[in-house]
Amino acid sequence: MREKKGREGEGRVAFSNLLPFIIFSASSLFGLLNPKPPPPSPPSMASSTTNLYFSSSSPFLQFPHLHSQSHHQRPNPSFVSLPSRRRSLRCFSSSSSNGTPGRGEDDPTVKEVERILEEKRRAQLAARIASGDFTAQRSGWSSVVKSGLSKLGPPGKLLEELLSRLTGDDGLPEGEQLEIPRAKGSLGAVGGQAFFLPLYELFVTYGGIFRLTFGPKSFLIVSDPTIAKHILRDNSKAYSKGILAEILEFVMGKGLIPADGEMWRVRRRAIVPALHQKYVAAMINLFGEASYRLCKKLDAAASDGEDVEMESLFSRLTLDIIGKAVFNYEFDSLTYDNGIVEAVYTVLREAEMRSTSPIPTWEIPIWKDISPRQRKATEALKLINDTLDNLIAICKRMVEQEELQFHEEYMNEQDPSILHFLLASGDDVSSKQLRDDLMTMLIAGHETSAAVLTWTFYLLSKEPGVVAKLQEEVDSILGDRFPTIEDMKKLKYTTRVINESLRLYPQPPVLIRRSLEDDVLGKYPIKRDEDIFISVWNLHRCPKHWVDADSFNPERWPLDGPNPNETNQNFSYLPFGGGPRKCVGDMFATFETVVATAMLIRRFNFQMALGAPPVEMTTGATIHTTKGLKMTVTHRTMPPIIPNLEMKILRVDGDQPLDSTPSTVRRSISEEDQEGEVSTARMP
């Protein structure tokens, strides 16, 4: 057993290791709420609308979907016949994997009826959630009066608010403590669920904060933006990473994500300055080059007529990028499968396994030595650690030899990595801590970006209209040249596509915290040592906040409006978290995914491959597909580039694939300079 010290860790080892089990059990528990769920219909290429249903009259939810989060399955007919009970999560696709709508779904009358019912249901639901109907039982004289006032519309609401302030009460008689609503259920066995889906169902029923209880232990599930803001920003000091830190300790040690308290403060202060503007601008070039390598790979597949599994390719793309960006290491995983790449994936899968395994076998000392999987994970981790130590040593020597003066926007052109910045800054830190931080950033910046690209391309495969608009923007702004930092401001629609993809598929879908002291969440007092899940999934799909919450609609974000973030969306939108522990790589990641999307969409058309397995969700650290994202990639017939005064054209044979005209493609700014040519990257 690992030794745990300090008040946060006390008595928690055993339980923390049960987290995965608890998550797993939670799914199981919810599954039994509907004792005999209907078996899933076979995947249908003719329809992909997955609908979730629940009985509006019963506090007990029914989860027919729990046996499948397929984006391509038809609802069980027994539920279809009850349209008033219908709740459609359109996010789970409105067309089939090959883009063909299902029979009957095209019928305008059916669609209209569905739309009206859906709107009615949502309005009722929103009103019930807003009135606190799902959240708590009110009592006391003022509650009765307030309840009457709330029915009088806006003037009544105003009076209700006034009354609350005057009485200073929350509607409960004196001495009676508010209790956080409890989700109920019984244990059962439903494995392999994306656990945030049942949490959404419970949110709809129990409201923005509720308690999930399992025997002696419980979790608070938060889906209310005001409470999320309180935990993440306003009173962030009262919360730690709790269980997350315990699970990730073996791989991230005391790296920035799991670290808490003073250790976190010191490391954050050291690392954030490394991602300065000049560094991010240099990274755009790196994103372009890596995406170009992926284009070449896809070009070969398109020519050969081979389908490709995009999720693993995106994973390799982002691994190549983050290795170079963080510690100047060329994984080159898009080209080779070498030992270190395999080691990274072994460790990542081990981390994910630990967060979904019912029994913490890795805690049993002897098991570590005899289990082949454990031994493989230990060996892989050693290989990565040795490689990192080696890179740190090489970088130290480089820094000692260079004559660059360190300043705010310091960057070594040959090695612009974060590691180089940290060492040059004189960061006084042990090699172990540095390694932990590098490893943390490797993982944080790899899986997340890969997942964003995966789900973006999945969403795009169902929305040809969005793809057409994207291509139009990329054609007019980029053509075939590599993107620059200036282009990031201009690729507005592409950015909105990423913003919207992050809304529908937040990575990670849940943020984890533990209270370090007693606090009040909303109107509920809580004790210290509460484990809390902030469901970003629920916040991002809350029907009260979002119009047509489950639709992929980049247009919901105006092109001339600000870039959506947690501040301007008042914590209803948290793609990169919020408060002091907000992602340090938000700009990096946004640009990375914008560049990759723009370059790929410019050159290829992507469709779900014929006969591809249904796209279902599963959770590790981020949302994965269960069976990959198999796509057919074809060369796009590109429009000719119309030259204008501001743009030097590097290539004009627009409808040829990239690698057939390599001489016209600029690899990097420095190469262009060497060749003495004008770099478009530097054009005003």
Among 163, 178, 429, 583, binds ligand HEM (CB under 6 A): 583
Rounded CA-CA distance 602/681 in Å is: 18
Q: Does 539 bind ligand HEM (CB under 6 A)?
A: no
- Under the binding rule (CB under 6 A), the answer on residue 274 touching ligand HEM is no
Q: Say if residues 488 and 591 touch (Cβ distance below 8 Å).
A: yes
CB closer to ligand HEM, 47 vs 622: 622
Q: Which is nearer to ligand HEM, 352 or 475 (CB)?
A: 352
Q: Which of 569, 565, 567 is nearest to 590 (CA)?
A: 565
Least Cβ distance, residue 639 to ligand HEM (angstroms): 30
> In this chain, which stretch among 21-29, 555-563, 584-592, 608-616 interacts with ligand HEM, using CB under 6 A?
584-592
268 contacts ligand HEM (rule: CB under 6 A): yes
Stretch that binds ligand HEM, among 86-94, 131-139, 573-581, 630-638 (CB under 6 A): 573-581
Stretch in the footprint of ligand HEM (CB under 6 A) among 294-302, 345-353, 437-445, 669-677: 437-445
440 is an interface residue for ligand HEM by CB under 6 A: yes
Measure Cα distances from 293 to 22, 415, 560, 577, 607 in Å: 42, 20, 33, 31, 20
| Stretch in the footprint of ligand HEM (CB under 6 A) among 97-105, 516-524, 538-546, 571-579 | 571-579
- What region, left, alpha or beta, does residue 382 occupy, with left being phi > 0 and alpha being psi -120 to 50 degrees? alpha
Q: Is 438 in the site for ligand HEM (CB under 6 A)?
A: no
Q: How far is the CB of 452 from ligand HEM (least distance, A)?
A: 4
- Start-end of H helices in 34-153: 77-80, 108-130, 141-150
Stretch touching ligand HEM by CB under 6 A, among 179-187, 294-302, 588-596, 650-658? 588-596
User: What gap in Å lies between CA 281 and CA 419, rounded to an integer?
Assistant: 17
Q: How many residues bind ligand HEM (CB under 6 A)?
A: 22
Determine the Cα–Cα distance for residues 161 and 292; give it in Å rounded to an integer.
57
* SS3 labels along 611-649: CCCCCCEEECCCEEECCCCEEEEEECCCCCCCCCCCCCC
Please, which residues bridge with residue 239 across strands? 515
Query: Is 583 assigned to a binding site?
Result: yes
When asked if residue 499 is in the footprint of ligand HEM (CB under 6 A), the reply is: no
Give me the least distance between CB of 577 and ligand HEM, in Å please: 3
Interface region with ligand HEM, contact rule CB under 6 A, candidates 100-108, 423-431, 579-587, 597-605: 579-587
Q: Closer CB to ligand HEM, residue 203 or residue 264? A: 264
The rounded distance, in Å, linking the Cα atoms of 172 and 632 is 60
Q: Where are the alpha helices (DSSP H) in 255-363?
A: 261-271, 277-304, 310-327, 339-354
**Does an H or E element contain 59, and which?**
none
Q: Pairing mode, if any, of strands 182-183 and 239-240?
A: unpaired
Kindly tell me which of 204 and 422 has the beta carbon lying closer to ligand HEM: 422
The residue within the footprint of ligand HEM, chosen from 441, 488, 510, 631 (CB under 6 A), is 441
573 binds ligand HEM per the rule CB under 6 A: no
SS3 per-residue string spanning 439-476: HHHHHHHHHHHHHHHHHHHHHHHCCHHHHHHHHHHHHH
Distance of alpha carbon 458 from alpha carbon 517, whole angstroms: 42
Binding ligand HEM by CB under 6 A: which of 64, 207, 575, 614? 575
- Tell me the C-alpha distance between 631 and 616, whole Å: 15
Which of these segments, 127-135, 371-379, 408-416, 580-588, binds ligand HEM (CB under 6 A)? Answer: 580-588
577 binds ligand HEM (CB under 6 A): yes
Among 171, 479, 585, 614, binds ligand HEM (CB under 6 A): 585
When binding is defined by CB under 6 A, the residue of 410, 421, 576, 591 that contacts ligand HEM is 576
CB of 589 to ligand HEM, least distance (A): 3
Distance of CA 352 to the CA centre of its chain: 15
Distances (CA, A) of 120 to 86, 113, 127, 545, 599: 11, 11, 11, 15, 42
Residue 344 vs 584, nearer CB to ligand HEM: 584
For residues 50 and 328, which CB has a smaller minimum distance to ligand HEM in the complex?
328
Q: Considering the complex, state which of residue 190 and residue 228 has its C-beta at the smaller distance from ligand HEM.
A: 228
Smallest gap from Cβ 553 to ligand HEM, in A, equals 20
Quick one: how far is CA 252 from the chain centroid? 19
- Feature table: binding site for heme: 583
Binding site for ligand HEM (CB under 6 A): 256-257, 268, 440-441, 444-445, 448-449, 452, 507, 511, 575-577, 581, 583-585, 588-589, 593
